[in-house]
Amino acid sequence: MKLQGKRAVVLGAAGKDNMGQVIAERFIAEGAKVLVAGRKPEYLQAFVDRHPGQAFMALCDITKEADNDALAKSAIDQMGGVDIAVNASGWGLLKPFLDTTEEELQQIGDLQFKGPFLFFQSMIEAMSKGNGGSLIQISSATATIMLNDHAAYMGTKAGTDHVIRCIANEFGEKNIRANSISPGLTETPMTAANGRTPGLWEVFEKSYPLGRVGTSDDIAAAAVWLASDECFMTGQNLQVNGGLTLRRNPWKHEIQEAVVAAMAKQ
């Protein structure tokens, strides 16, 4: 019960069993009340129905300032305040550099840079009314190491990691901590289709010193520690990816060769 009495907002939890929902589940198991937020009410309501009295919901488009402000107000109205705020939203845009369009750049910039900036502004305002708290950004190992055809995603994640450092520096005196968590390839509903591609998982596993890709439970465990009063750390990026950043992601040709070889064996 490391989060007993805490009140958490988890944005990006509007998908069944996605990373945001797994984090929210773990927070509840540790004693917190959790407001789950996103753009799909049916998934949010289903989560709330599984946790009566412990979970609440609000609709929020992270790219809109008014939505973020309304989310903070909803958390205060429904739970009495905010002690923990997690941004688990994102878009896995995977596209060659020269093929990435202006429209796609605008969309991913809004979702993964402007949106988190606005979200944390609203959450800081809410936390400042209480005793401070913990802000957690779900980043990516690719904000640090290379992956083919991922420039727009990587750039926006890296930019938000630096925003987190700025927040940590500026608001530490208000007892507000801010940190990032960087998963590598992770087993989630979003990557389930990739996991069924013969040879794909295996070629990535060779890059992990701990010998496996991550899970949402791995990320949730790290988030619990960052959210707890035991955490005396701010402005950092936790590489919760089994040591992937000690090495590198596979290159495109390595992935293609591994998939072709695996399919030939079937």
**DSSP3 helix / strand / coil % (the chain, rounded to 5):** 50, 15, 35
- The three-point CA angle 91-97-99 to 5° equals 90
Token readout for 70 is 């309304």
Tracing tokens 């923990």 back to the chain, one arrives at 84
Query: Rounded to whole angstroms, what are the CA distances from 102 to 98, 107, 114, 152, 192?
Result: 11, 9, 16, 11, 29
Interatomic CA distance for residues 22 and 13, integer angstroms:
8
Amino acid code (one letter) for 27:
F
Per the listing, tokens 């619990």 go with: 224
**DSSP three-state, residue 141:** helix
Length of the chain measured in residues: 266
Given 56, 153, 171, 204, the catalytic residue:
153
Measured between alpha carbons, how far is 56 from 44 in angstroms, rounded to an integer?
Answer: 8
Q: Active site includes 208? A: no
**Closest by Cα among 193, 258, 176, 243 to 213:** 243
Residues with a catalytic annotation lie at 153
